[in-house]
Chains A and B, each alone.
Chain A
Amino acid sequence: GNSVTQMEGPVTLSEEAFLTINCTYTATGYPSLFWYVQYPGEGLQLLLKATKADDKGSNKGFEATYRKETTSFHLEKGSVQVSDSAVYFCALRAGGGADGLTFGKGTHLIIQP
Chain B
Amino acid sequence: GAVVSQHPSWVICKSGTSVKIECRSLDFQATTMFWYRQFPKQSLMLMATSNEGSKATYEQGVEKDKFLINHASLTLSTLTVTSAHPEDSSFYICSASPRVGDYYGYTFGSGTRLTVV
- The interface of chain A, by Cβ under 8 A from chain B, is 4, 32, 34, 36, 41-46, 49, 89, 93, 96-106
Contacts and interface: CB of A to CB of B under 8 A. Distances in A.
A47 to B, nearest CB: 12
Given A100-B34, A103-B44, A43 B93 contact: yes
Given A100-B49, A101-B46, A104-B43, A43 B103 contact: no
A10 B111 CA distance: 21
Interface of B: 4, 6, 31-32, 34, 36, 41-46, 49, 51, 59, 93, 95, 97, 100-101, 103-104, 106-111
B88 to A, nearest CB: 20
B112 to A, nearest CB: 11
B110 A43 contact: yes
Contacts of A34: 103
Contacts of B49: 98-100
Nearest to A102: B46
A43 B94 CA distance: 9
Given A98-B32, A98-B49, A101-B46, A43 B4 contact: yes
A45 B43 CA distance: 16
Given A105-B42, A105-B43, A41 B110 contact: yes
B108 A89 contact: no
Contacts of B46: 100-102
A111 to B, nearest CB: 20
B103 A97 contact: no
